[in-house]
C-alpha cells in the first residue's frame, strides 16, 4: 500500500482503504437516530450530511505569488481571498485564515490532489489531510437562515452574508465554517467529534419550521 | 458582550469568537537564563491595571486563530480599535484592512 | 360573581370572547384583551396579597411593569409553574390558573400578618442585617421563610415542558418602546430603508396612546397607532416585537429582548412553538423611548387596597373597560392626574373630589374640572387613607404653598378609591445598564438619562418630554438621526396634528405631611414590595447612612422584583429632605439588568438537557454504547469508563479488564488524545522550545515523550511526539488539554517566534486511535497487517511505522502507557469502527478485552506514569514529579519553563514531591485528596505534608496502590505517614517508589 513519496521531508499517505472496507461518516449513526418530522413538501428546513468528502487543509503565504499560482494551477481554482470561496463542479476552496484554506474534493481524489499540490508548491507551505476529522452538514430551505440565526452570532442577511461567502464562527457551543452556496442553501463544516452535537442542535432548532431530513425535492429529481 | 474588530478577517465580530490573552506587548525576556529571580518574577506575575486605555492581546479563537492587539478603555469598556502584532497602538482601527 | 366592575361599553377588549380563569382557587371570567389584573378588577377582587414585612393587605396599584403588589404564581400544572408574574403584564387566556404568592399561608389570615401586627415595631430598617444574620447557620432557615413571605413565588418541581430559544439579531436601529415617541421614531427610521426592530413589553403596541384622551389628526389617538403599525407591518425591513421586554442593555449596543411568544395563548405553548425567545440584538443605533412611570404620592396608609396610580385608573377604564371602585378621590401635583377623575366621571361613577396640591393651578384640565362640576380642592392633599381591607375614606387637609406643612384641619371624605399622581419618573433603567448615571432635572421633576457612551439617543417621556406633540416630534427627530447614524438618508416627514390640553406647571412634592411627624404618623409607604416606609428612610439617615446607595441597601428600598420602579424617586426625595440636601445632591441609585424578571427558560434557551454542553464522540462511540460501556466525561468527550458485564461490580469489571490486559491483550479507544500536525523546516526547533526535553536528534520513525511547562516552570501537559519526516511531527496532548495546547503553540509562534517556519493544525478528529496493550498485542496485530514488519528488533519500542491494518492505511506507534507491549493504531476516522471491529474479529482467540479510562488509570499508576491535571495541579515542576530525565537543561535555546523552574522557591528541598504510597493494610484504598501527616495524634489543625493524587486497587499486585505528594518526599522513601480521614479512621502508609510493577521496564521491551 505504501506509495512513493514525492517529498521525503514530510510523511504523506494515500489514505484510501481497500475496496471492502466500510466507511462511516461522522453523522452515520446520528442521522439514523433522528426522526424526520415533515415530508419534503411542507418542510421549510432541509438538513442532510454531505458525507465522506475529501478535505485538505492548505497552509501558505497568500502574498507569495508562487504559492497562489501553485495552488491555482494544481487545482484549476483561484485562491480565494478573505472570507470567500471558489468552486468548480467537483471542488470548493474555502478561505479560513490569511494563511489557511480548506479544499473540499472527492474523497478518492484527495491523495492525487495532495500530490499535485505538493508538486506545484515550493518553500514554506503545508498540506494536511483532514477528511476524517470534519464533515459537511447542509442546511437548506426558506427557514434555513432563521435556524442559523438561532445558532450563530454572525449576521446571515444577504448584505452581510452573500452567496459564496465563508465565515468561521461559533455554532452554538461549537465552531463551524459556514459557506453560503445559494440563497437558501448553506454548508456547515464541523469537527467530527462535535458533529453529533451540531446535528442535534440543528434538528432541534429547525423543528418549529418543519424539518425534512434530506435534500429538497427539486434536487432529487 | 464586546464587538471586536479582527484585523485579519477585516470585520467586527462578536466577543464569543475571541479569547482574551492578557496585556499586549509583554515580550519574553531575550535572555531568560541571565534574568534575576526578581526580573523573571516581574515578567511572570506583575501586570499593570490601568484605569483608561489598555492594550490587550486577543485571539480570534473561533475564527481565523490569529492573535492581535486591542486598545480598550477599562473604565467605559469602549474599544478604540485593533492592530496587528508588530504594529503600534496608534494604528488601532475598526475597519480598513484590505483583503 | 359576575364582572361587577365591567363597563358596558368601551375599552379594547373583545366582549364576544369570554375567558374563564382562576385566582386563589376561585373561578372568574374576563374577556380577550384583558390583562390578569384588569380581569381581577372587573370581578371586584381587591386584595391580591399581603405585604412582606407587616402582613398588610395589598391590592393592584398600577397597570404595567411598575406594579409592586399584584405579583402572582401562574400555572395550571406543576410543570408549568411560573413565579413572579406581574398580573398587570399577563394577558388573560382561557383556563389561566393563578395563585397569590405573598400572604402565605392564606390571604385572609396569615402568620406574618399576625406577627407583623404584634412585632411591627421590632422590624426596623436594616432588619435583614440586625435580625437574620446571626448566627450564620440560621440564615438557611430564615431565608426559606423570608422567600415564602416575600411574595417571591416558588419554582416548579417538575421539568418545564415548553421550549425556549435564542435568536441572534443584527439591526440598524432598535427602538425600545412603542408609545408615541417610539412609534414615530421607528416609522421615520424605517421609511429611510434602515432595518428596524421595534420592541414593546405590552401585548398591544401604542403605550400611553391606548388610553389617551388626546386626538391625533382629528381622530382617536389609537387610530394613529393602528395606521402607523399597519405601515410598519407592511415593510420587510421592520421587525415588530410585541410582548417583548428589552431587559438588558450591554456593552457596544448589545441588547437582549425577552419575547413572550405564547404566554398570552395558554398555560402551555402550542406544539412546535417556542414559548419564549431571547433576542440577542446587536444594534448600530438604539432609540430609547421607554416612557415614564407615574409616581404615587406618599401619604399615611397609602398601601390600602383602593389606593392606585391615577394613570392606572385611566388605563383600566379606557383600555380595559373596568373600573376599580365606585367613588373616587383623586390627588395630583400636576395636570395629568386630572384625567383619572374625568375618565371616572365619564364611566358614570362618582368623583368625590379632585385634590390638587397646587394653590392656584391653571390650564385646560383645571377649567374642564370646573366645567364638569367636580369638587376641586386646590392647595390640599390626601394626608391619610382610612379603611381595613379597602379604602373607606380619605382624610384631606389644606397644605402650605411649599407642600411641607398642613395649614388647617383635615376633612374626611368617604370613598373607596384614592388615585394619586406625583408626576412622572422617566424610565431611565436601560440607560443605566452600561454605566450611565441619570441626572436630576428640576423642570422635569425627575431623573433623566445622563450622557451615554453608547450609540444611542432618547425620545419622549424618558427625556422628560411629557406632552404628546413633543413626544411625536422628538420621536421623529431621533428616528431620523438613528437612520442617518446607521448610514441611511432620512426624509423628514410632516408631523401629525395633535389636540391635547394645555398644561400648567407641576409641583415637586413627594411625601405628604401628616398631623404627626413621619416617625409617629400611620405608615407612609414608599416601597410596597419591601415594606419600606418614609419613617424607615428617615431613620436610616439618622443612623448615619448618607450615601443613597447605602440608604438603599440598609432599608432594602428598591430591592424587590419591581426594582423600585414606583418608590425609588420618592425614597430618594425623602432621604434628601431628611439630610437637608437637594435630590440633585444626593443623586440616585442606578439600575442593572434585568428590567423585569426573566424566566430561566429564556436565559437557557436550547442550551439544556442533551444540548447543555457539547458531547464529543469518537468514531467508535456507537460500539461502546452497544457493548454496555459506562461513560466518563473527560472535557467534553464521552470516554468509555469501564465495560461492566452482567452482574459485575465496578471493581470486578476493573479487575477483569486489568488482568486481561496484563495477561493477554486489552484495547482502549484513545482517539480523544489531542493530536497536532506540525509541518515546516523549523518544526524541530519549535518543538525543542516548547518541550523541556531534547528533540534535536530524534530520527524519522521515532517517538519521544515530552513535558510541557509554563514560563513558571510548572508542568501543564505531556504527551508523545513522533517524527514523521525531517520537517514533520505529530504531537499528542492530553485529552482535556488539546485545545489549550494548540492555542499555546500558536501564541508563541505568532507573538514570540514568527520567524520560525512552521504550520500547526489539529488532526485530533481525523485519526481514530486504538491502543492494543498486553503480551498478545503483537500476535493480534500480526493477523491484521502484512506490510508492517512487527519483529521486535526492527519495530522497536518508541518506533512508529506506516502500513495497512485491516485494509486501512495506518500509522502504528509502538508506545505504551501501561508498561506492556503496546501498539497505538491510528487510522482515518471514517474507517475507525471498521478497524476496531476487525480487531475484535481476530481478537476473539486472544480474549481481546475492551478497557476504559479507569483501567487505563490503574495500569498506568502501576507503572508510576503521571496524568497531567490529576497528579499535577499547576504547582509542580518536572523535578517535583521525579521527571528529571525529561529536562534537558543544556539545550541552546532557553526553552519555556527552564528559567521558571530555577527560581529560588523551585529549588527548595522540602517542596511537595510525587512519591508512591503503599498502605500498611493492602486492602485499604486511600481516598484521593486525603492529606498526609507525620503524627496523627497532633492537635487540629494538623501540619499537613501533602495529598493523595491517584489511588486504586491493583488486581495485578493484589493490593492497593497510590501516588501522592509529600513535602521532601523524594528523600523520605521508606518513611511512614498517616492519613486521618473524615470518618475518623487513620490510614498508615509507607512512602515508596512510584514504580509498583516491573521497575526495569522489561514488559514493554519484548
> Does any domain span residue A170?
yes
Contacts of C31 (CB under 8 A, 6+ apart): C13, C14, C15, C17, C18, C19, C39, C92
Burial A41-73 (b: 16+ CB within 10 A, else e): eebbbbbbbbbbbbbbbbbbebebeebbebbbe
Cβ contact (<8 Å) for C435 and B76? Answer: yes
First to last CA, chain A: 39
> Does any domain span residue B85?
yes
Cβ contact (<8 Å) for B11 and A96? Answer: no
Containing structural domain, residue B66: 1-26+47-99
Strand partners, C425: C293
Find the radius of gyration of the CA atoms of chain B. 15
Number of other CB atoms surrounding residue C411 within 10 Å: 14
Is the predicted pLDDT of residue C857 greater than 50, yes or no?
yes
For residue C126, the model assigns a pLDDT of 65
> Does any domain span residue A80?
yes
C17–chain A Cβ distance below 8 A for any pair: no
Instruction: Mark whether A120 and A177 lie in a shared domain.
Output: no
* Number of domain units in chain B: 1
Q: Give the number of B-C residue pairs with CB atoms closer than 8 Å.
A: 60
Nearest to C182 by CA among C406, C458, C369: C458
C929-951 pLDDT, tens per residue? Answer: 999 999 999 999 999 999 999 99
Confidence band for C508, pLDDT divided at 50, 70 and 90: very high
Q: How far is C687 from C733, CA to CA, in rounded Å?
A: 13
Cβ contact (<8 Å) for C434 and B66? Answer: no
Is the predicted pLDDT of residue C670 greater than 50, yes or no?
yes
Nearest to C474 by CA among C450, C455, C451, C498: C498
Instruction: Mark whether A62 and A169 lie in a shared domain.
Output: no
> Does any domain span residue A21?
no
- Across the range C267-274, mean pLDDT stands at 92
Cβ contact (<8 Å) for B9 and A154? Answer: no
The answer to whether C155 and C225 are in contact (CB under 8 A) is no
Q: Calculate the average pLDDT of chain C.
A: 94
Report, as ranges of residue numbers, the positions in chain A whose pLDDT lies below 50: 1-6, 219-221
> Does any domain span residue B37?
no
For residue C142, the model assigns a pLDDT of 62
C235-245 pLDDT, tens per residue? Answer: 999 999 999 99
Measured between CA atoms, the residue of chain B closest to residue A155 is: B13
Cis amide prior to C135 (ω within 30 degrees): yes
- Across the range C585-592, mean pLDDT stands at 90
Instruction: Mark whether A109 and A143 lie in a shared domain.
Output: no
- Domain stop point among A130, A148, A174: A130
* Number of domain units in chain A: 2
Of all residues in chain C, the percent with pLDDT exceeding 70 is 95
Find the radius of gyration of the CA atoms of chain A. 18
Instruction: Mark whether A140 and A220 lie in a shared domain.
Output: yes
For residue C147, the model assigns a pLDDT of 58
Instruction: Mark whether A137 and A188 lie in a shared domain.
Output: yes
> Does any domain span residue A79?
yes
The answer to whether C263 and C612 are in contact (CB under 8 A) is no
A160–chain C Cβ distance below 8 A for any pair: yes
Q: Which residues 756-785 of C have a C-beta within 8 angstroms of A?
A: 757, 759, 761-768
- Domain stop point among A97, A130, A163: A130
Confidence band for C850, pLDDT divided at 50, 70 and 90: very high
All structural domains of chain C, each given as residue ranges with its CATH number in brackets, are 14-149 (3.10.20.440), 163-292+426-499 (3.50.50.60), 296-422 (3.50.50.60), 516-591 (1.10.10.1100), 616-672+764-851 (3.30.1360.120), 676-762 (3.30.70.1400), 906-1005 (2.40.30.110)
Q: Calculate the average pLDDT of chain B.
A: 96
Is the predicted pLDDT of residue B98 greater than 50, yes or no?
yes
Containing structural domain, residue A214: 26-52+133-221
> Does any domain span residue B80?
yes
* Residues on chain A touching B63 (C-beta within 8 angstroms): 97, 167-169
For chain B, which chains pass the contact test of at least 3 CB pairs under 8 Å? A, C
Q: Rounded to a whole number, what is the distance in Å from the CA of B40 to chain A's nearest CA?
A: 34
By Cβ distance, the residue of A20, A57, A134 closest to C765 is A134
- Domain stop point among A130, A158, A184: A130
In whole angstroms, how far apart are CA C100 and each of A132, B10, C25, C45, C196? 58, 55, 10, 12, 39
Q: Rounded to a whole number, what is the distance in Å from the CA of B53 to chain C's nearest CA?
A: 15
> Does any domain span residue B34?
no
Q: Which residues 20-49 of A have a C-beta within 8 angstroms of C?
A: 20-26, 29
> Does any domain span residue A9?
no
Nearest to C928 by CA among C963, C886, C901: C963
Instruction: Mark whether A31 and A67 lie in a shared domain.
Output: no
CATH of the domain at B79: 3.30.2270.10
B57-85 pLDDT, tens per residue? Answer: 999 999 999 999 999 999 999 999 999 99
CA angle A170, A173, A179 (to 5 degrees): 30
C42-60 pLDDT, tens per residue? Answer: 999 989 988 878 889 999 9
Q: Rounded to a whole number, what is the distance in Å from the CA of B87 to chain C's nearest CA?
A: 12
Measured between CA atoms, the residue of chain A closest to residue C684 is: A9
Q: How far is C931 from C915, CA to CA, in rounded Å?
A: 14
Burial C726-763 (b: 16+ CB within 10 A, else e): bbbbbbbbbbbbbeebbebbbebbbbebeeebbbbbbb
Measured between CA atoms, the residue of chain C closest to residue B19 is: C743
The answer to whether C871 and C881 are in contact (CB under 8 A) is yes
* Residues on chain B touching A168 (C-beta within 8 angstroms): 62-64
- Interface probe for C, chosen from B4, B65, B66 (most Cβ of C below 10 Å), is B65
Phi, psi (degrees; rounded to nearest 5) at A167: -135, 130
> Does any domain span residue B93?
yes
Measured between CA atoms, the residue of chain B closest to residue C250 is: B1
Cβ contact (<8 Å) for A196 and C764? Answer: no
> Does any domain span residue B65?
yes
Cβ contact (<8 Å) for A2 and C803? Answer: yes
> Does any domain span residue A17?
no
Q: How far is C708 from C468, CA to CA, in rounded Å?
A: 69
> Does any domain span residue B42?
no
Instruction: Mark whether A178 and A97 lie in a shared domain.
Output: no
Q: What number of CA atoms fall less than 13 Å from residue C180's CA on the CB side?
A: 30
Q: How far is C66 from C61, CA to CA, in rounded Å?
A: 9
CATH of the domain at A139: 3.30.1360.120
> Does any domain span residue A188?
yes
3-state secondary structure labels for all residues of C531-559 = CEEHHHHHHHHHCCCCCHHHHHHHHCCCC
Of all residues in chain C, the percent with pLDDT exceeding 90 is 91
The answer to whether C299 and C524 are in contact (CB under 8 A) is yes
CATH of the domain at A101: 3.30.70.1520
Instruction: Mark whether A187 and A78 lie in a shared domain.
Output: no
Instruction: Mark whether A47 and A107 lie in a shared domain.
Output: no
> Does any domain span residue B86?
yes
* Residues on chain B touching C253 (C-beta within 8 angstroms): 3
**Given 3-state DSSP classes, what are the helix, strand and coil percentages for chain A, each rounded to the nearest 5?**
30, 30, 45
Q: Which residues 588-617 of C have a C-beta within 8 angstroms of A?
A: 606-607, 610-611, 613-617
- Across the range C725-738, mean pLDDT stands at 97
> Residue C359 burial by CB count (10 A; 0-12/13-18/19+): exposed, middle or buried?
middle
Instruction: Mark whether A48 and A138 lie in a shared domain.
Output: yes
- Interface probe for C, chosen from B17, B34, B44, B62 (most Cβ of C below 10 Å), is B44
C364-396 pLDDT, tens per residue? Answer: 999 999 999 999 999 999 999 999 999 999 999
C594-606 pLDDT, tens per residue? Answer: 999 999 999 999 9
Instruction: Mark whether A67 and A123 lie in a shared domain.
Output: yes
C148-201 pLDDT, tens per residue? Answer: 555 578 889 999 999 999 999 999 999 999 999 999 999 999 999 999 999 999
Instruction: Mark whether A45 and A64 lie in a shared domain.
Output: no
* Residues on chain A touching B16 (C-beta within 8 angstroms): 153, 170
Amino acid at each position: 500500500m505504501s506509495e512513493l513519496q514525492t517529498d521525503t521531508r514530510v510523511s504523506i499517505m494515500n489514505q484510501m482503504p481497500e475496496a471492502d472496507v466500510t466507511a462511516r461518516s461522522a453523522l452515520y449513526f446520528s442521522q439514523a437516530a433522528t426522526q424526520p418530522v415533515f415530508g419534503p413538501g411542507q418542510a421549510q428546513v432541509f438538513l442532510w450530511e454531505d458525507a465522506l468528502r475529501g478535505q485538505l487543509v492548505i497552509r501558505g503565504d497568500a502574498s507569495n505569488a508562487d504559492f497562489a499560482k501553485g495552488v491555482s494551477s494544481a487545482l484549476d481554482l483561484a485562491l480565494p481571498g478573505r472570507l470567500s470561496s471558489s468552486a468548480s463542479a467537483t471542488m470548493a476552496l474555502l478561505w479560513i485564515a490569511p494563511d489557511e484554506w480548506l479544499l473540499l474534493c472527492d474523497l478518492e481524489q484527495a491523495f492525487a490532489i495532495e500530490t499535485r499540490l505538493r508538486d506545484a508548491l515550493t518553500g514554506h507551505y503545508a498540506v494536511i489531510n483532514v477528511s476524517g476529522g470534519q464533515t459537511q452538514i447542509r442546511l437548506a430551505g426558506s427557514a434555513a437562515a432563521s435556524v442559523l440565526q438561532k445558532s450563530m452570532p454572525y449576521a446571515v442577511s444577504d448584505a452581510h452574508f452573500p452567496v459564496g461567502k465563508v465565515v468561521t464562527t461559533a455554532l452554538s457551543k461549537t465552531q463551524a465554517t459556514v459557506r453560503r452556496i445559494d440563497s437558501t442553501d448553506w454548508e456547515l463544516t464541523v469537527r467530527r467529534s462535535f458533529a453529533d452535537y451540531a446535528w442535534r442542535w440543528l434538528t432541534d432548532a429547525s423543528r418549529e419550521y418543519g424539518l425534512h431530513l434530506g435534500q429538497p425535492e427539486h434536487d432529487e429529481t | 458582550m464586546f464587538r471586536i474588530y479582527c484585523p485579519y478577517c477585516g470585520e467586527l465580530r462578536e466577543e464569543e469568537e475571541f479569547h482574551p490573552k492578557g496585556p499586549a506587548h509583554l515580550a519574553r525576556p531575550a535572555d531568560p537564563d541571565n534574568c534575576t529571580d526578581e526580573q523573571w518574577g516581574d515578567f511572570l506575575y506583575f501586570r499593570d491595571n490601568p484605569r483608561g486605555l489598555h492594550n490587550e492581546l486577543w485571539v480570534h479563537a473561533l475564527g481565523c486563530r490569529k492573535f492581535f492587539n486591542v486598545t480598550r478603555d477599562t473604565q467605559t469598556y469602549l474599544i478604540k480599535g485593533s492592530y496587528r502584532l508588530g504594529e503600534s497602538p496608534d494604528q488601532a482601527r475598526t475597519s480598513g484592512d484590505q483583503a | 360573581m359576575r364582572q361587577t366592575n365591567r363597563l358596558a361599553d368601551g375599552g379594547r377588549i373583545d366582549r364576544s370572547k369570554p375567558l374563564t380563569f382562576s385566582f386563589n382557587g376561585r373561578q372568574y371570567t374576563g374577556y380577550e384583551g384583558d390583562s390578569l389584573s384588569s380581569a381581577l378588577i372587573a370581578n371586584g377582587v381587591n386584595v391580591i396579597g399581603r405585604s412582606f414585612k407587616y402582613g398588610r393587605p395589598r391590592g393592584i396599584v398600577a397597570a404595567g411593569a411598575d406594579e409592586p403588589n399584584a405579583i402572582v404564581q401562574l400555572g395550571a400544572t406543576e410543570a408549568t409553574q411560573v413565579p413572579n408574574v406581574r398580573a398587570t403584564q399577563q394577558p388573560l387566556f382561557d383556563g389561566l390558573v393563578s395563585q397569590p404568592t405573598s400572604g402565605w399561608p392564606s390571604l385572609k389570615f396569615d402568620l406574618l400578618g399576625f406577627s407583623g401586627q404584634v412585632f411591627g415595631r421590632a422590624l426596623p430598617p436594616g432588619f435583614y442585617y440586625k435580625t437574620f444574620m446571626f448566627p450564620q447557620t440560621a440564615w438557611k432557615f430564615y431565608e426559606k421563610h423570608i422567600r415564602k413571605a416575600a411574595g417571591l413565588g416558588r419554582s416548579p418541581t417538575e421539568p418545564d415542558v415548553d421550549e425556549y430559544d435564542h435568536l441572534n439579531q443584527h439591526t440598524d436601529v432598535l427602538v425600545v418602546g412603542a408609545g408615541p415617541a417610539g412609534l414615530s421614531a421607528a416609522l421615520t427610521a424605517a421609511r429611510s430603508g434602515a432595518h428596524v426592530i421595534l420592541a414593546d413589553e405590552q401585548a398591544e403596541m401604542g403605550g400611553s396612546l391606548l388610553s389617551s384622551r388626546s386626538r391625533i389628526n382629528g381622530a382617536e389617538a389609537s387610530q394613529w397607532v393602528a395606521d402607523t403599525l399597519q405601515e410598519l407591518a407592511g415593510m420587510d425591513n421592520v421587525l415588530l416585537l410585541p410582548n417583548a421586554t428589552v431587559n438588558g442593555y450591554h456593552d457596544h449596543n448589545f441588547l437582549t429582548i425577552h419575547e413572550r411568544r405564547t404566554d398570552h395563548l395558554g398555560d402551555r405553548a402550542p406544539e412546535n412553538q417556542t414559548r419564549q425567545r431571547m433576542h440577542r440584538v446587536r444594534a448600530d443605533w438604539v432609540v430609547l423611548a421607554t416612557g415614564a412611570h407615574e409616581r404615587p404620592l406618599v401619604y399615611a396608609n397609602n398601601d390600602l387596597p383602593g389606593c392606585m396610580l391615577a394613570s392606572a385608573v385611566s388605563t383600566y377604564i379606557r383600555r380595559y373597560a373596568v373600573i376599580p371602585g365606585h367613588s373616587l378621590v383623586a390627588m395630583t401635583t400636576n395636570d395629568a392626574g386630572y384625567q383619572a377623575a374625568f375618565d371616572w366621571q365619564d364611566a358614570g361613577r362618582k368623583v368625590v373630589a379632585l385634590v390638587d396640591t397646587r394653590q392656584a393651578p391653571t390650564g385646560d384640565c383645571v377649567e374642564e374640572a370646573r366645567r364638569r362640576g367636580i369638587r376641586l380642592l386646590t392647595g390640599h392633599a390626601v394626608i391619610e387613607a382610612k379603611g381595613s381591607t379597602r379604602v373607606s375614606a380619605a382624610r384631606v387637609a389644606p397644605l402650605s404653598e411649599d407642600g411641607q406643612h398642613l395649614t388647617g384641619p383635615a376633612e374626611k371624605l368617604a370613598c373607596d378609591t384614592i388615585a394619586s399622581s406625583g408626576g412622572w419618573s422617566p424610565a431611565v433603567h436601560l440607560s443605566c445598564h452600561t454605566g450611565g448615571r441619570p441626572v436630576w432635572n428640576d423642570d422635569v421633576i425627575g431623573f433623566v438619562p445622563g450622557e451615554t457612551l453608547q450609540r444611542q439617543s432618547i425620545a419622549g417621556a424618558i427625556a422628560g418630554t411629557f406632552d404628546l406633540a413633543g413626544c411625536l416630534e422628538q420621536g421623529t427627530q431621533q428616528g431620523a438621526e438613528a437612520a442617518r447614524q446607521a448610514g441611511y438618508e432620512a426624509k423628514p416627514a410632516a408631523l401629525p396634528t395633535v389636540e391635547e390640553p394645555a398644561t400648567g406647571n407641576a409641583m415637586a412634592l413627594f411625601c405628604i405631611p401628616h398631623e404627626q411627624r413621619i416617625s409617629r404618623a400611620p405608615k407612609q409607604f414608599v416601597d410596597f414590595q419591601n415594606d419600606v416606609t418614609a419613617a424607615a428612610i428617615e431613620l436610616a439617615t439618622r443612623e448615619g447612612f448618607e450615601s443613597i446607595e447605602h440608604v438603599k441597601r440598609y432599608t432594602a428600598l428598591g430591592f424587590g422584583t419591581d426594582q423600585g420602579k414606583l418608590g425609588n424617586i420618592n425614597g430618594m426625595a425623602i432621604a434628601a429632605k431628611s439630610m437637608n440636601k437637594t435630590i440633585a445632591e444626593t443623586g440616585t441609585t442606578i439600575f442593572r439588568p434585568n428590567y423585569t424578571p426573566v424566566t430561566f427558560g429564556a436565559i437557557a434557551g436550547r442550551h439544556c438537557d442533551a444540548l447543555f454542553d457539547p458531547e464529543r464522540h469518537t468514531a467508535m462511540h456507537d460500539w461502546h454504547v452497544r457493548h454496555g460501556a459506562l461513560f466518563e466525561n473527560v472535557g467534553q468527550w464521552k470516554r468509555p469508563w469501564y465495560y461492566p458485564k452482567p452482574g459485575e461490580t465496578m471493581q470486578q469489571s476493573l479487575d477483569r479488564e486489568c488482568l486481561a490486559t496484563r495477561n493477554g491483550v486489552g484495547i482502549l479507544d484513545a482517539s480523544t488524545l489531542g493530536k497536532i500536525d506540525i509541518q515546516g523546516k523549523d518544526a524541530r526547533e519549535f518543538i525543542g522550545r516548547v518541550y523541556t526535553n531534547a528533540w534535536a536528534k530524534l530520527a524519522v520513525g521515532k517517538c519521544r515523550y515530552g513535558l510541557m511547562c509554563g514560563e513558571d516552570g510548572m508542568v501543564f501537559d505531556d504527551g508523545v511526539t513522533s517524527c514523521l519526516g525531517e520537517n514533520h511531527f505529530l504531537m499528542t496532548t492530553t485529552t482535556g488539554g488539546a485545545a489549550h495546547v494548540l492555542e499555546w503553540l500558536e501564541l508563541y509562534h505568532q507573538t514570540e517566534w514568527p520567524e520560525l517556519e512552521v504550520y500547526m493544525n489539529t488532526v485530533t478528529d481525523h485519526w481514530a486511535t486504538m491502543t492494543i496493550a498486553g503480551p498478545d498485542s503483537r500476535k493480534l496485530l500480526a493477523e491484521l497487517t502484512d506490510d508492517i514488519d512487527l519483529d521486535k528488533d526492527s519495530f522497536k519500542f518508541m518506533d512508529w511505522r506506516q502500513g495497512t491494518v485491516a485494509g486501512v492505511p495506518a500509522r502504528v506507534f509502538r508506545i505504551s502507557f501501561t508498561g506492556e507491549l503496546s501498539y497505538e493504531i491510528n487510522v482515518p476516522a471514517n474507517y475507525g469502527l471498521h478497524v476496531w471491529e476487525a480487531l475484535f474479529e481476530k481478537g476473539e482467540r486472544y480474549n481481546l478485552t475492551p478497557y476504559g479510562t479507569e483501567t487505563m488509570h490503574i495500569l498506568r499508576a502501576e507503572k508510576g506514569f503521571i496524568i497531567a491535571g490529576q497528579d499535577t495541579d499547576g504547582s509542580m515542576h518536572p523535578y517535583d514529579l521525579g521527571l528529571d530525565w525529561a529536562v534537558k537543561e543544556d539545550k541552546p535555546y532557553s526553552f519555556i519553563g527552564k528559567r521558571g523552574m530555577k527560581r529560588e522557591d523551585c529549588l527548595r528541598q522540602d517542596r511537595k514531591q510525587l512519591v508512591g504510597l503503599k498502605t500498611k493494610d493492602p486492602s485499604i484504598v486511600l481516598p484521593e485528596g486525603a492529606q498526609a501527616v507525620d503524627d496523627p495524634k497532633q492537635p487540629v489543625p494538623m501540619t499537613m505534608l501533602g495529598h493523595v493524587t491517584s489511588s486504586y486497587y491493583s488486581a495485578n499486585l493484589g493490593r492497593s496502590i497510590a501516588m501522592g505528594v509529600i513535602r521532601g518526599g523524594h528523600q523520605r522513601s521508606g518513611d511512614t505517614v498517616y492519613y486521618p480521614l473524615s470518618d475518623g479512621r487513620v490510614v498508615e502508609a509507607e512512602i515508596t517508589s512510584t514504580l509498583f510493577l516491573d521497575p526495569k521496564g522489561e514488559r514493554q521491551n519484548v
